Amino acid sequence: MQALELDESNEKGLFRRGQARAAMKDWELAKVDFTKVLEHDPNNKAAKNQAAICAHHIKQFREKEKKMYSNMFSQYLTKPAEKVSLVATFLFRIIFVLLKPSKRD
C-alpha cells in the first residue's frame, strides 16, 4: 500500500490492492482497482480476468438481492382483489361511524 501512497497509478500496487479487496469480498472496489490497471495496460490478462470475476460476483449479488426483496413483498401482492375489498370494507366502516347520527340529536 505504500507504493500507492507514493504513486497512485502504480500498476502492481493497484493489482495487489484489488486482490486484497477481492479476498475481502469487496467486489466493487476490487473491480475499480483492476479497471485502473487496465487503463494503464489494456493487455494485462490477469487484471482482465480479475475484473471479469468481480463483475460476475457483483451480478450474482445483485440478482440475489433482487430475489430477496421481491420475495419480501410478494406476500402483499399475491391477492390484490382481497386486499382492496378489505381496505374498502375498513374505509366504509370508518365513514359509517363518522357519518352516523348521534343519539343525542
Q: What is the mean pLDDT of the chain?
A: 81
Query: For the chain, which domains are there?
Result: 2-77 (1.25.40.10)
Low-confidence ranges of the chain (pLDDT < 70): 1-7, 71-84, 100-105
Percent of the chain topping pLDDT 90 = 48
Q: What is the residue whose three cell numbers read 382481497?
A: 82
For residue 99, the model assigns a pLDDT of: 72
Residue 102 CA from chain centroid, whole number: 54
For residue 92, the model assigns a pLDDT of: 76
For residue 17, the model assigns a pLDDT of: 93
For residue 103, the model assigns a pLDDT of: 57
How many angstroms separate the CA atoms of 52 and 34, rounded?
Answer: 9
